[in-house]
Amino acid sequence: MQTLTFEPVSPFVIGNHSRFHIVIVGAGGTGSFVLQTVARLMVHCQHSSINILTSIVDGDVIEPKNIGRQLFAPAEIGRNKALALATRFNQSFGLKIHAVPAMLNRSMGNQLHRGTWRDQRPFTIVIGAVDNALARQAIHESLEAKFDLWIDGGNHEHGGQVLIGSKQSIRSVEGCCSLGSLCDALPSPALVAPELIKVPAEPQQTDCADAMANNRQSLLINQQMATIIGQYLNQLIFTGRITTYETIVDLTSLTMRSTSITPSNLAKSLNKKPEFFTTKGSVKP
């Protein structure tokens, strides 16, 4: 008789936090819908002990090709994307979303942290909603020092992938599941998918907006990616834990699958042995 065994999930736990700083990098197709979701979370938390500070970062301006595909109106053409979105949701919901009308760079950390609480450092979550490797490089290099957690959302024409991580190096996740039933660290999205920060030899000819304008990209893929990111945020903020670190969606087949946090799954993602994640200091990387 064959016996089936199931590896128990080790939830990633961030601890008890009542103050969060959410930094959204990119205010285009996915980023605009992510900010809408975050604004709703901010409103939901107004009558609770949870406080959310939000920053939206993007140096691009709104173009005609963005209308209908992204959350912008014709009257906003020519305005900065981050400023336009922050203004809209601040006025609609009485919020104080901070707009940074510039492209993310490695020295932007201090600017992003202005206005945070002086008596208690908030738990900082950066959401990557960009389509270029240089921006993701800046996020990856700032992980741990400036950001506690990175949620990255990337998509192609009819599908996409959301990855979540907290550590910049493979060494930092050694023994992350040694507590047995819990996980205290996750590898950066750039460690799980190195191509995210690899600059292509040939420059890309089109961006996501061009792909959408030419009807090569699904009208709904960005909104779907934002919904998945929003659900991860919802779980982290209100329960302090998540049980998966990767979600892949395919709109063509209407399927979605997530990867549970287990030593075996982490081992497959990083080409390591499961023991690397269950034992601290006794396994060579």
Calculate mean pLDDT across residues 258-283. Answer: 91
Task: Examine residue 95 and state whether it is found in any structural domain, yes or no.
Answer: yes
Range 170-175 average pLDDT:
96
* Residue 281 pLDDT > 80: no
Q: What's the confidence (pLDDT) of residue 81?
A: 98
Q: Please check whether residue 158 lies inside any domain of the structure.
A: yes
> Residue 242 above 70 pLDDT?
yes
Is 141 within the bounds of a domain?
Answer: yes
Check residue 222 and give its pLDDT.
Answer: 93
Q: Mean pLDDT, to the nearest integer, of 51-70?
A: 95
Compute the mean pLDDT over every residue in the chain, rounded to the nearest whole number.
Answer: 89
pLDDT the model gives residue 113: 52
pLDDT at residue 141, rounded to an integer: 93
Residue 75, pLDDT above cutoff 50: yes
The predicted model gives 156-180 an average pLDDT of 94
Residue 162: pLDDT band (50, 70, 90) is: very high
Q: What is the CATH number of the domain that holds 71?
A: 3.40.50.720
Does residue 31 sit within a domain?
yes
Give 117-149 pLDDT, tens digit per residue.
Answer: 556 689 999 999 998 999 999 999 999 988 999
pLDDT at 127: 98
Residue 284 in domain? no
On the CB side of 226, CA atoms within 13 Å amount to 25
Contact between 166 and 159 under an 8 Å Cβ cutoff? The reply is no
Asked if the model's pLDDT at residue 114 lies above 80, the reply is: no
Tell me the backbone φ, ψ of residue 191, rounded to 5 degrees: -80, -35
Which pLDDT score, from 0 to 100, does residue 3 have? 52
Q: What is the mean pLDDT of residues 215-219?
A: 72
Which pLDDT value is given to residue 112? 64
Is residue 221 included in any domain, yes or no?
Answer: yes
Question: Are residues 8 and 262 in contact, defined by beta-carbon separation less than 8 angstroms?
Answer: yes
Instruction: Note whether residue 3 is domain-resident.
Output: no
pLDDT value of residue 209: 55
Q: Which of 274, 231, 219, 238 is nearest to 256 (CA)?
A: 231
Instruction: Count the domains in the chain.
Output: 1
Res. 64: pLDDT tops 60: yes
Which candidate, 93, 81, 113, places its Cα nearest to that of 42?
A: 93
**Boundaries of domain holding 28:** 12-278
Tokens of 195: 């191509």
Answer whether residue 113 is part of any domain: yes
- Tell me which of 2-6, 80-84, 169-173 is least confident: 2-6
Inform me whether the pLDDT recorded for 285 exceeds 50. no
Query: Any residues with CB less than 8 A from the CB of 247 and at least 6 apart, and which?
Result: 161, 162, 228, 232, 256, 257, 258, 259
Q: Is the pLDDT of residue 214 over 60?
A: no
